């Protein structure tokens, strides 16, 4: 066994795996195997890795909707952004928008998005998503 493998086993044993942020005994926000997010944070490469995984999760969820494969790449990207931001339950709360997407009425889908509390909260993000929904 090499030093990395030994160290990894020891750290896993002593730190434990926690998949949601928590406060460690020193009061620091921590995640995973003792990653101190307050002092160390994450690297750009780690952020990209997490984002890639989140996008895959969004696509897997969105692919369960009958309209998904009929959308353009811009429309799919728009819905990935929306699903990422809202989560699965939040995305599903856009019932009228979903019906518009099912009917292929992308203007109505964009209208529903733009006339929502969500659009008021996120401003330009909603504008961008609505624009892409119509492309």
pLDDT at 1: 79
pLDDT at 107: 97
Known catalytic residue at 58: no
- Out of 15, 48, 58, 102, pick the active-site residue: 15
Give the strand order in the sheet containing 29-32: 18-23, 29-32, 35-36
Known catalytic residue at 24: yes
What are 130's strand-pairing partners? none
pLDDT at 117: 96
User: What is the overall mean pLDDT for the chain?
Assistant: 96
- Out of 17, 24, 48, 108, pick the active-site residue: 24
Encode pLDDT of 26-85 as tens digits.
Answer: 999 999 999 999 999 999 999 999 999 999 999 999 999 999 999 999 999 999 999 999
Residue 91 has pLDDT above 90, yes or no: yes
Domain boundaries 44-133, CATH class: mainly alpha
Residue 122 has pLDDT above 90, yes or no: yes
Domain residue spans of the chain: 3-36, 44-133
Listed in sequence order, the DSSP H helices in 2-94 are 3-15, 44-62, 73-92
Q: Write down the pTM of the prediction.
A: 0.87
pLDDT at 23: 95
């Amino acid at each position: 066994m090499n030093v990395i493998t030994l160290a990894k086993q020891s750290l896993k044993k002593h730190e434990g795996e926690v998949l949601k942020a928590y406060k460690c005994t020193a009061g620091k926000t921590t995640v995973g195997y003792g990653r101190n997010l307050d002092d160390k944070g994450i690297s750009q490469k780690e952020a990209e890795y997490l984002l890639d995984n989140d996008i895959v999760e969004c696509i897997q969820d969105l692919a369960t909707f009958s309209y998904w494969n009929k959308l353009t790449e811009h429309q799919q990207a728009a819905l990935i952004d929306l699903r990422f931001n809202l989560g699965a339950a939040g995305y599903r709360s856009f019932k009228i928008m979903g019906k518009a997407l099912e009917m292929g009425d992308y203007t109505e889908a964009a209208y529903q998005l733009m006339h929502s509390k969500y659009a008021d909260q996120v401003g330009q993000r909603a504008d961008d998503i609505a624009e892409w929904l119509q492309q």
